[in-house]
Amino acid sequence: MSWKGIVKSVNRLPHNIRTATGLGESTRDYKYEELVSAFDALQKDAYKLHDEARKFRKSVSDLFLHGANIAEILVDIYNPVNADDRSEGPVTRHPQTSSQAMKAVQEYATQSRELQETIVAELDSIDSYVVRPMDDLISVTKSIAKTIKKRDHKRSDYDRYRKSYKKLKEKKDRTSSEEKNLSKLEDQLDKATAVFDQYNDALKEQIPIFFEYCGEYMEPITHYFYNTQMRIYALFYESMERIVSVEYFDLESDIVERYEEKIGDVKSHIESLATLTGRHGNSGGRLTTKVGEGSRSNRRSDSRSPGPVSREYSRNADKDLKSRKYDRDRYDDDYDHEDDPPPAYSSVISSSPTRKGSSYNISSNPKLFPVAAPPRPPPATKPRPKNYVTALYDYEAQAEGDLSFKKNDRIEVIERTADANGWWTGKLNGKTGLFPGNYVE
């Protein structure tokens, strides 16, 4: 703003404050106010149409883009898993997808991708036929808004000079200086009146003309949106018609009944897979595990779900397994082993004595290790509370030393590992043995 404009703004400020607070008079032209109100609404609509056109282009493009992506994902889901050379055996889904269903979903993916590419090319014309024309229209409305604001300033000058002239004119006893000032105010009032009338009359005359031109300007945009949406729907219909021609989809049955029939079968099959779905309460059968070769440290499964259990020994190592079964009597009911973590399973098995005179009996030789006086027994301590877990599945002992239990049995934990997938020591019905930690909670 120039210095001259700043001075004018300062001179108008007192009058604008009085007018805003209702203490001052303001000239009103009701016809002009109606036109300006309609213009403000049109300008807001121009901004909205500009923004909505861009959103329309993006939304429709995203709609068909995501539709094409979903179709490709469906192809991956329908496509049977092929055998992997690195796997121990063939891995396939059962039952495999029928050739007719596979053909239908592949055709759906092809048509969806072609449709998406065609629609994107169709939507690119929105910039040329809608966005840029609306930019031009908004530019014109900004120029008109500036003229309206300038007219309001001229009205403020007119009201201000009119009030000053009227006040001095009504004064009866005027001095010579006041007479000169009255003549000056009269000239300023005449000029302000002429300028205000010029802007006011021009706007009242030209704003209706602008409305007419704006209606004609919007007509091709309206036709464009109509034709664009019609082409999009037609392309979509043609694409879906090609998919239906595969003759896989059932268009005769009631869609709701057909859906309920299909989803019922799927639910029943999924609910039977208790291990995969985690719905263990729905599985009424027993879960047994096939034991293979491997170390106990490799007896792993997914978190809290059963899986194949492997050992380091084979069935030919029965003698080692029998020797591994150390004395269970040392596990007293009031003794807690949680503070003493057990050694790794491989070290336990490898250090198991296989013949007499092993390293376990070296310390018993008084010549090598003198026997000291036995220490005083520690003072009696309050027994720690027992720790119990609940079985999630049935488990049958796979080797000597394992603890068998049924689902929902409460097992006393004597010794546990930090790893929930490890092998814990527990007691049930007076029997002590090892069991997989991921079978309980």
Interatomic CA distance for residues 195 and 161, integer angstroms: 13
Q: State pLDDT tens for residues 331-381.
A: 444 444 444 444 443 333 334 444 343 333 434 444 444 444 455 555 555
Residue 166 Cα distances to 16, 152, 321, 399, angstroms: 18, 21, 120, 116
Report strand pairing: 410-415 vs 423-428.
antiparallel
As given in the structure block, the two tokens for residue 284 are: 């009424």
Partners of 20 in beta bridges: none
**423 closest CA partner among 341, 333, 351:** 341
Strand partners, 434: 402, 425
**CA neighbours closer than 13 Å in the CB half-sphere of residue 348:** 18
On whether the CB atoms of residues 391 and 409 are closer than 8 A, the answer is yes
Q: What is the dihedral of CA 221, 222, 228, 233, to 10 degrees?
A: 170
For residue 4, name the pLDDT band (cuts at 50, 70, 90).
Answer: low
Could you tell me if 251 and 240 are in contact, meaning their C-beta atoms sit under 8 angstroms apart?
Answer: no
Q: Would you state the pLDDT for residue 195?
A: 93
pLDDT in tens, 159-206: 888 888 888 888 888 787 888 888 888 888 999 999 999 999 999 999
pLDDT for 107 beyond 60: yes
Placement of tokens 């759906």 in the chain:
108
Give mean pLDDT, residues 288-296. Answer: 39
> Which residue is associated with the tokens 């049935």?
394
pLDDT digits over 221-271, tens only?
Answer: 999 999 999 999 999 999 888 888 877 777 788 888 888 887 877 777 777
Q: Which of 51-55, 384-388, 413-417 has the lowest mean pLDDT?
A: 384-388
Torsions phi, psi for 392 (to 5 deg): -90, -25
Are the C-beta atoms of residues 345 and 423 closer than 8 Å to each other? yes
- Per-residue pLDDT band at 49 (split at 50, 70, 90): very high
Tell me what percent of the chain is helix, strand and coil, each rounded to the nearest 5: 60, 5, 35
State the Cα torsion 361-366-370-371 to the nearest 10°. 80
Residues 186/165, Cβ–Cβ less than 8 Å: yes
Domain boundaries of the chain, sorted by first residue: 12-244, 253-282, 291-355+382-439
Distance CA 77, CA 69 (A): 13
Is a pLDDT exceeding 80 seen at residue 50?
Answer: yes
Helices 99-123 and 176-244 pack at an angle, to 10 degrees, of 150
Q: What is the mean pLDDT of the chain?
A: 74
d(CA 255, CA 250): 9
What is the rounded (10 degree) CA torsion for 83, 87, 90, 93?
Answer: -70
Residue 265, token pair as written in the block: 């079968």
Tally helices (H) and strands (E) across the chain. Answer: 10, 6
The amino acid at 392: L
Q: Which tokens in the block code for residue 251?
A: 């268009």
State pLDDT tens for residues 413-432: 998 888 777 888 999 988 89
pLDDT of residue 308: 39
Nearest Cα to Cα of residue 398 among 326, 306, 328, 333: 306
Cα–Cα distance measured from residue 32 to residue 2, given in angstroms and rounded to the nearest whole number: 29
Strongest mean pLDDT among 216-220, 251-255, 269-273, 324-328: 216-220
Give CA separation, 214 vs 50, 129, 203, in Å. Answer: 14, 15, 16
Question: Considering the domain 12-244 in this protein, what is its CATH number?
Answer: 1.20.1270.60
Angstrom distance (rounded) from CA 321 to CA 421: 21
Rounded to the nearest angstrom, the gap between the alpha carbon of residue 287 and the centroid of all alpha carbons in its chain is 37
**Residues 394 and 288 sit within 8 Å (Cβ to Cβ):** yes
In the CATH scheme, what architecture does the domain 291-355+382-439 have?
A: Roll (2.30)
